[in-house]
A = this chain, B = another copy of it.
Amino acid sequence: MSAKASTAARIAEEAAAAPLCAVFRRHLRSVRLKYTPERAGVLDAIIERDGLFEVEELLNDLRDRRLRISKATVYRTLRLLQDAGIIMPAQIDARQSHYQLVYGRAPRDQMVCVRTGRVIEFTDPEIRTLRDRICRRAGWAPVTHRLQIFGVSPEDAGAEPPAS
């Protein structure tokens, strides 16, 4: 990806990110809950992470920002954000819990290197087209999808398999 394309993508994402807190607020109101500083803090940290993140990272980020938000609250907020359709579990790895920001952006697909575990995110419009075609044939209404391609990246082709 060129620097130019990446910059354009970032600007587009920042524009999309702006209303996220509004989306969250709207959802909370609809279920009669409040938009508290803790909840806002968690969402902000997620937006900063831009895409894929782990709970552990989020907790660190919040700690770094001197926001003292308990683990319990973070987990509770993650569930609310899921309900709001803002994030979804990414499930890269069974042990660690990864989530990804999904609201207002095309689903990010992942290529995972089976040698090193390295994850590269990408979006391919053809996947979406194919997904919608498959759904149409089956009579389903598509909502989103998750695609993980496992393979060996050229950089890691000589690497040892991970310790696991």
Give residues in A with beta carbon < 8 Å to B.
Answer: 89, 91, 94, 97, 111, 113-114, 120, 122, 124, 126-127, 130-131, 134-135, 138-154, 157
Contact = CB atoms under 8 A, between A and B. Distances in A.
Contacts of A141: 151-152, 157
A122 B131 CA distance: 12
A134 B148 CA distance: 12
Number of copies: 2
Contacts of A94: 89, 91, 97
Given A94-B89, A97-B94, A146-B147, A152 B140 contact: yes
Closest 9 CB pairs of A and B: A91-B91, A140-B151, A139-B154, A141-B152, A142-B151, A145-B149, A143-B150, A146-B148, A147-B147
Contact of A149 (B134, B149, B153, B154): B134
15 contacts: A113-B140, A120-B138, A122-B134, A122-B138, A126-B130, A135-B151, A139-B153, A139-B154, A140-B149, A141-B152, A145-B147, A145-B148, A145-B149, A146-B150, A147-B147
